[in-house]
Amino acid sequence: MKKKRFKNQDNIQVNNSWRDLLLWFKERMKKQKDMSFQVPLVDKPEITNLQTNRTEPTITWIGHCTFLIQLNGLNMITDPVWAKQLFTYKRLTQPGIPLADIPPIDVVLISHSHYDHLHQQTIYQLPGNPLFLVPAGLGKWFTKRGIEHVAEFSWWGSFRLKDLVFTFVPAQHWTKRTLFDTNTSHWGGWVIEGERVPSIYFVGDSGYFRGFAEIGERFKLDYALMPIGAYEPEWFMHRQHVSPEEAVQAFLDTRATYMIPTHYGAFMLADDTPEEALNRLFNEWERRNINKDKLYIPKLGQTLSLKASSLT
C-alpha cells in the first residue's frame, strides 16, 4: 500500500538534492566560525514555583524549541528535547532546567518528527501521564512505543481541554526520521487560546510563507515563539527555516503582540552561530523601528510571567 505523503501550501518543495547537500558540505569546510558565545543560563531557575504554580500564566525556555508553558492549571511542553547529543551534534548549552526538576506534564505539543523536535528518550522520561498532541501521520510512532495517550491533528484541527483550545496550524517544512518515511507525517505549529489567558503561537520549524499572515488573520495572538536559527547557507535552508530577518517579518504577519525567539543556541544544525542569529534579529528589529518592549530574549531556564494584551 502506497504511503501518504504530506505537502506544503502551494506544493512548495523543501527537500534539497544530494548534489545540493554535497555543495553545502564543501562550502561549510571553508568557513571558520567563532563559537565562543553561549546563550546565558539563568542563575537560579524557579523550580519550586514551577512545581506548585496552578494559576499564574508562565513560560520557561528550556532550550532550542522546548518550552514549559503553564496556563489554566495545565503544564505543557513543546517539542521536548533534553538530549546531550543528536547524532554528531553535541549540545552547545545545557537545558535551562533538568528534566528531573520539571513538574508533571499534562500536554505535550509536537510540531514535527525531526530529531531536534522529537527525542525518544526524553519522551519516555517525561513526568506525569501527558496527552501527546501530534501532527497527522505521527500517532503510530507513539503507539508503536507503547504510548497510547496520543491524538493526531491535520492543519486547523482543534482540541479543547480545561477551557484551553489547541489548534494545529500550517508551517512550511518537511519530515523525515528514516530513509523511507519522508513526509509520511505532517508538520506545523500550535496555537493555544483560552478566555482571559494569553494566547500563544508556537511556530515549530518553518520557512517564510503566506501561512503566517493567514494565522494572524484567524487568531488574536499575544506571544509568537518564532524560530531564528539554522538558516545558513540561505540558498540551501530558506524554504525550510526562516532567517532572522524573515522571522521578524513573520512576526509582523502574525500580528502577535510579543515575540520570543526559538530554535537557536542548543545545536549547530547549520552554519550560523547563536550570536549571529541574535545580532541579525536585533539589527532587523531596530531597522524596522519596532518597540523593543515587544521582544523578549529569555535566558535558558528563565520563567516569564505572561499577560494577555487584550486585558491590559
pLDDT greater than 80 at residue 312: no
Write out pLDDT tens, residues 86-131: 998 999 999 999 999 999 999 999 999 999 999 999 999 999 999 9
pLDDT band at residue 16, thresholds of 50, 70 and 90? confident
309 pLDDT band, cuts 50/70/90, is low
Q: Do the domain assignments include residue 142?
A: yes
Q: How many domains does the chain have?
A: 1
Residue 204 Ramachandran class (φ > 0 left, ψ -120 to 50 alpha, else beta) = left
Residue 310 confidence (pLDDT) above 70: no
Question: Which pLDDT score, from 0 to 100, does residue 233 have?
Answer: 97
**125: CATH:** 3.60.15.10
44 part of a folded domain? no
200-202 and 223-227 strand pairing: parallel
Distance CA 277, CA 297 (A): 12
Least confident of 5-19, 220-234, 275-289: 5-19
As given in the structure block, the three cell numbers for residue 47 are 523550580
Percent composition of the chain: helix, strand, coil (DSSP 3-state, to 5): 25, 20, 55
Is the peptide bond preceding residue 45 cis, with omega within 30 degrees of 0?
no
pLDDT digits (tens, 9 = 90+) for 32-79: 999 999 999 999 999 999 999 999 999 999 999 999 999 999 999 999
> In this structure, is residue 1 part of a structural domain?
no
pTM, full prediction: 0.96
For residue 8, tell me if it sits in a domain: no
What's the grid cell of residue 254? 502574525
**146 falls within a domain:** yes
Does an H or E element contain 19, and which? helix 18-29
For residue 154, tell me if it sits in a domain.
yes
Structural domain of 209 = 49-311
- List b or e across 25-56, with b for residues whose CB sees 16 or more CB atoms inside 10 angstroms: eeeeeeeeeeeeeebebbeebebeebeebeee
Q: Summarize pLDDT for 180-193 with one digit per residue, the tens.
A: 999 999 999 999 99
Domain membership flag for residue 20: no
Does some domain include residue 192?
yes
